[in-house]
Structure 1
């Protein structure tokens, strides 16, 4: 009886280990497309956005051919790359630059930096912005452009910095003057305002989401929580702590809609992505 019980425990343990290994493999190598619909009165038709974030130099097929093919299948109007497409310690920017060069054949590409691009450039790779622009991307950080799509005008901005004050004062009134100037100019329009902000933290803390007139914030950064547990959801959330709220999907916060993608890859985390399939996010804007 004891021998049979031990054998059953070994079988169960083996199944669990195999399941975990399969989940880790799929969370590194598979691709899923998730579609989110958001209605707004600021456009009269439909606009399709593809959002890619947190690639971390990963490749889905040589030169990301599988990823590019999946994006093309979505027939996007605009492609938004929302940061951490390489790693802070990458030798060069071959992966994101090659990806941009191919994606611009599908639709216009807009690129906002994440913390890894920030550190990568600070480490002596100031040429990154020029490389991305030469490949065809519109690079946005504390900048915005008005884009025409199917007769609709959409204002797309990029902001890596926090939209509120630091040093103990998290009021939007205490934001850095340079950032304030950018946000005030950005929101001075009746057009739909979409902001690429790699970290959802930039707008969810303090009173930023009730002060700044941003219609849709698009973020990544937290990899959907890195490890996703049944029922409980994603575990890790950076500044948000454990089991964070704003990590995957659409959220209404004050006057803002905040979208967070779980992204595509992972850097040197304590744990690999688990139960967390890399995501190509499609946002369908419609009236």
Structure 2
């Protein structure tokens, strides 16, 4: 059984007008069907130990290759969501698990001629669970322990996913993704805003957009990790990337890039264990490290 690291971050959030309190978020990403009973048990043990207020998923739960099954990831997520919902009051939005779209889910959706009904089967399984909310350029707002929260799931367009050469994500693309008649497309100033954005290549745009916390995956920790943030290679074939892992902060905003829970094609990790991330957000308080 592969080892999992239980990674914890404490963040201070100063937002006038919000009540003081703490919000504990557990985040996992990039499972890629790594859902053996032993792996599931290890993940669930970490989640139970940290007793989060919210469970979030960063995408790439499946392997987006023709003929690969979606059932391992869908069955695990459904089982986990059922257990999580059972400890909440019926209808409590904090009893749902909120997921972003990874590039593996995304390509199965936009290329049905290649992947057949993979995405349809995966999406149907999530919907039937009743407690798995896949956010595709959508947000959900609710209150947890008196703290107002907004969860946003960003689906990056394919032109920003190219290998070696790809377009740079502008902040305006995120704003347009979330803009509606009722919403200007910017993070709310009167809530704790959490952005699920699978690909950390857009980190500069995420920080400019200004969610209080952005959670990413995709890079698998760079396969082999160096220092606090460095990785050997990214999925877009960037060598010695400096955005492979860890906490990045600017102007009071935070981005966390997780090394993820699985791998595919090249199942190698060097100084780079699988992990579940727990983030404790201390709102208008001093953090306790």
What range describes the TM-score normalised by the shorter chain of this pair? 0.7 to 0.9
- Alpha carbons of 1:280 and 1:168: their partners in 2 closer, same or farther (altered >3 Å)? closer
The count of residues paired between Structure 1 and Structure 2 equals 254
Instruction: Check the 8 A contact 1:194/1:217 in 2, yes or no.
Output: yes
Paired residue for 1:13?
none
> More deviation in 117-126 or 107-116?
117-126
> 1:180, 1:195 → 2: CA distance?
11
2:99 is the alignment partner of 1:99? no
Q: 2:99 aligns with which of 111, 114, 127?
A: 111
CA distance in 2, matches of 1:285, 1:179: 26
2:138 corresponds to which of 112, 129, 143: 143
| 1:172-211 pair list within 5 angstroms | 172-173=171-172, 175=173, 178-179=176-177, 181=179, 184-204=184-204, 209-210=207-208
Contact kept in structure 2, 1:68 and 1:99, CA below 8 Å: no
* Aligned-partner SS, 2:7: strand
Bigger fraction of residues in strand: 2
Q: Which residue of 2 aligns with 1:34?
A: 7
Equivalent residue, structure 1, for 2:265: 268
Structure 1 position 168, deviation (Å): 6.1
Q: For the residues of structure 1 that align with 2:148 and 2:98, how far apart are their CA atoms?
A: 15
Determine the structure 2 residue equivalent to 1:126: 119
Separation (CA, whole Å) in 1 of partners of 2:185 and 2:227: 43
2:7–2:276 contact (8 Å) kept in structure 1: yes
The two structures, once aligned, show a CA RMSD in angstroms of 2.9
Aligned residue for 2:88? none
Cα distance in 1 for partners of 2:43, 2:10 equals 22
Which residue does 2:287 correspond to in 1?
none
Larger Rg: 1
Q: Relative to structure 1, is the Cα distance of residues 152 and 168 closer, same or farther in structure 2, using a 3 angstrom cutoff? A: closer
**Change over 3 Å in CA distance of 1:99–1:168 after alignment to 2:** closer
Give the drift of 1:192.
1.4
2:175/2:185 contact within 8 Å kept: no
- Give me the TM-score of the superposition, normalised by structure 2: 0.77
- Which residue is equivalent to 1:8? none
Aligned match for 2:49, one of 70, 73, 77: 73
Give the unaligned 5+ runs of structure 2: 85-94, 284-289
Q: Counterparts of 1:221-236 in structure 2 under 5 Å?
A: 221-229=218-226, 233-236=230-233
CA distance in 1, matches of 2:32, 2:175: 32
